[in-house]
Structure 1
Amino acid sequence: MKQNRPLFRRFLKVHFLFIFLPPIVLIFFSAFAGFSNTGEQLNTLNLFYATLLLFGFIIVAFVILSWLFFLKLQKRLARLQEVMSSSAKNKSFPKPISVQADRMDEIDQLGSSFNWMIQQLEDSRKREYEEELLRHRLIANLSHDLRTPLTILRGHVTRLNKELISLEGQNSLTEINHMITRIGDLMDDLLTYTLLTSGKHPFEPTSTDIGRLVRASVAAWYPAFEEKEIQLDVDLPTEETFYWEADPKWMTRVMDNLFQNILRHAAEGKYANIVVDVEKELIIVVDRGPGMDNSPYERGAGIGLSTSNYMLKKMKLKADFTSNENGTRVAIGRA
């Protein structure tokens, strides 16, 4: 077991010797010289000068030793503080500091505790990284493996549609086909979110014409809205626009998620309003559905919304949701 050597106790011990030992020696020397019969007697003036010189030496030695002690202490603490501050600036784990095992005073004990803390943090980060990697790999494998049985189920549904079955059976097959599509969409959302959070989805920000991007997204989704008989009310200026430093593919994915949610959860409202506010630099999407809290697919929609929010945060944007029983309003703007 390492023997601790208290730093301040040594400091006090050395200073105690310098302060009290010389006067004691002087007292004994004076007593010896005063009662000596053979030695030459010191006169009072010489004794005063010797005492003054001795106390002057004690004061000078005390100041020098104190200065050297605190200078050495300041250097050791500054070295420890430099390691901590450099890690904070670089946003990385600090490197362990050197510790003298044979000395192990208070500063070395502090450094040893600091090194132990770094080791624990590194071990924790390593375990977290391995668990995150395992979770991402598991989700990716599950998303891939589940596609095969879903494809087989869809094939059987298609085959049964060609058979002569009752109206109730036809409705059941239609619902099964709808749920297969729903599960496939959820798997796509989950896989996309996993790729995003693991850094495997490329992020390429550039100056993006938002008005043009929204018009292209609305044009792509217009047949789907028309098929669901949803009245589409758009206000997309063609002569004016604004630009965001964003990834066009990510912004398109965000718009796709919003429009997909309208088809899934607000189709019964038969209305969607899409506005590009150039003056306020906002994208506004409004529907007349039952609201997010009343949607039967609220839990499933959470993955897509989490993906969109992650993308928007990465692009320094945000989406403000206002939802009630009369519909949902989403406003996308700068964070």
Structure 2
Amino acid sequence: MKYLLIICLIVIIILIMKIIAMKLSIKELREGYEERAGIHTNTVLTVSSRDKEILELAKTLNKTIVKLRDSYNRYEHGDQEIKSAITNISHDLRTPLTAISGYLELAQRQDCSPEMDKYLTIIKGRTEHMKKLTEELFEYSIVTGGEITEEKQDVNIGKMLEDCIMNYYPALKARGIDPVIDITEEKIVRNLYPTYVERIINNLFSNALKYSSGDLEISLSDDGRLRFANSAPNLSSVDVSKLFDRFFTVENARSSSTGLGLSIVKIFAERMNCGVKADYIEGKIVIVVDF
């Protein structure tokens, strides 16, 4: 009986040791899998255990890791190809469109019948629209490529906003929009990318021209909060929640927009660690950027 107890005790100890070893091996596999799933690496899982089932588990997990890696590589390669194609196509379109615009301008200076002048005006409008879409697609392909081509500088937000207001004022007046402007007298200076800040403000103006039903409020507070607000009865809270989505457009804007303007605003703001949000308040679309 004594020997039987000793044998049972030895077996129990062996089983306990085996269970502990298996738990350690499983923990080792789990940690290794989490590490390789979270980073781009060519290494596979290794395990110290010689247990057949544990080794089979490691083999199965490694097959999954290899498949995931291959899928990721195909996705990354395809994504880069798409961006490259957009960049090349939009770049190739810019030259002939510029030439067409030039010849149209020359044609409009010639003596022509009222009917022909009407046709030329229509063609010029469509050409300008194509140029705008091409520029947006080219810009989008660049900004999503992760490249920053300038150094951060001290940017006077108020001054840049005033310059943009002056540039857009004729377009606003042409739309019958008389903006209500409230810019702090405080000098708001931030260390940011000047091109990004300018593009953010320009795209906010373009968005206001696109959606406004006749009013526009622009304000810059002492703490650097830039706010654009305008009535937009054709929008809804659901539409506004999607305004920063890539390629999203609403019905009344599909004919004149790629849906990239506010997506680019979000990309640039996030790259500079600036907050950006859009709300729909009492029939108004309100977009805020915190510089």
**Band of TM-score, shorter chain:** 0.7 to 0.9
Residue equivalent to 1:329: 285
Q: Distance in 2 between matches of 1:309 and 1:206?
A: 20
For 1:278, the equivalent position in structure 2 comes to: 222
Q: How does 1:46-85 map to 2 (within 5 A)?
A: 51-52=1-2, 54-85=3-34
Q: Deviations over 1:143-168 (max 9, x none)?
A: 12112331232233123212222223
Shift of 1:213: 3.8
Find the aligned partners of 1:162 and 1:276 in 2 and give their Cα distance. 43
Superposition CA RMSD, Å: 3.4
Deviation at 1:202, TM superposition (A): 4.4
Higher mean C-alpha deviation, range 140-149 or range 108-117? 140-149
Distance in 2 (alpha carbons) for counterparts of 1:306 and 1:158? 33
1:124-143 correspondence to structure 2 within 5 Å: 124-143=71-90
Name the % identity: 23
Q: By how many angstroms is 1:298 displaced?
A: 5.5
- Residue deviations 1:107-133, cap 9 Å, x none? 112111110111011100111111111
Q: Are 2:123 and 1:176 aligned?
A: yes
Deviations 1:257-288 (A, max 9, x none): 1212344554x73x432112336x53222345
Alpha carbons 1:94, 1:118 under 8 Å: kept: no
Unaligned runs of 5+ in 2: 236-249
CA contact (8 A) 1:86 1:94 kept: no
Flag the 1:320–1:265 CA change in 2: closer, same or farther, 3 A: closer
Q: CA deviation at 1:256?
A: 0.4
Equivalent residue letter for 2:286: V
- 1:252 maps to a residue whose letter is E
Q: Does 1:123 pair with 2:70? A: yes
Q: Match for residue 110 of structure 2?
A: 163
Count of aligned pairs between the two proteins: 275
Q: 1:287 to 1:75 in 2, by over 3 A?
A: closer
Pairing partner for 1:221 from 168, 173, 187: 168
Please identify the structure whose Cα radius of gyration is greater: 1
Equivalent residue letter for 1:329: I
**Structure 1 spans left out of the alignment, 5+ residues:** 1-50
The corresponding residue for 2:277 is 319
Provide the rounded CA distance (Å) in 1 between the counterparts of 2:255 and 2:221: 28
In structure 1, distance between residues paired with 2:99 and 2:169: 31
1:310 to 248, 255, 267: 267
Q: Could you tell me how far apart the structure 1 residues matched to 2:279 and 2:134 are?
A: 24
> Given the two structures, how large is their TM-score scaled by the length of structure 1?
0.69
> Contact 1:205/1:245 (CA < 8 Å) preserved in 2?
yes
Q: Indicate how the Cα distance of structure 1 residues 130 and 162 shifts in structure 2: closer, same or farther if over 3 A, else same.
A: same
1:92–1:177 CA distance, 2 compared to 1 (3 A)? same
- CA offset at residue 236 of structure 1? 0.3
Tell me the alpha carbon deviations over residues 161-186 of structure 1, each in whole angstroms, 9 at most, x when there is no partner: 12222223323322321221221111
In the alignment, which residue of structure 1 is the partner of 2:245?
none
- Letter of the aligned partner of 2:204 in structure 1? L
Q: Does 1:259 align with 2:209?
A: no
Q: Displacement, 1:193?
A: 1.1
Q: Judging changes above 3 Å, is the alpha-carbon distance between structure 1 residues 284 and 171 closer, same or farther for their aligned structure 2 residues? A: farther
Cα separation, partners in 2 of 1:82 and 1:296, compared to 1, 3 Å: closer
Contact 1:276 1:283 in 2 (8 A): yes
SS in 2 for 1:238: coil
Cα distance per residue 1:43-89 (max 9 Å; x no partner): xxxxxxxx32x12321332233123322332332232123134346x
Instruction: Say which SS state the counterpart of residue 45 (structure 2) adopts.
Output: coil
Distance 1:86 1:129, change over 3 A: closer
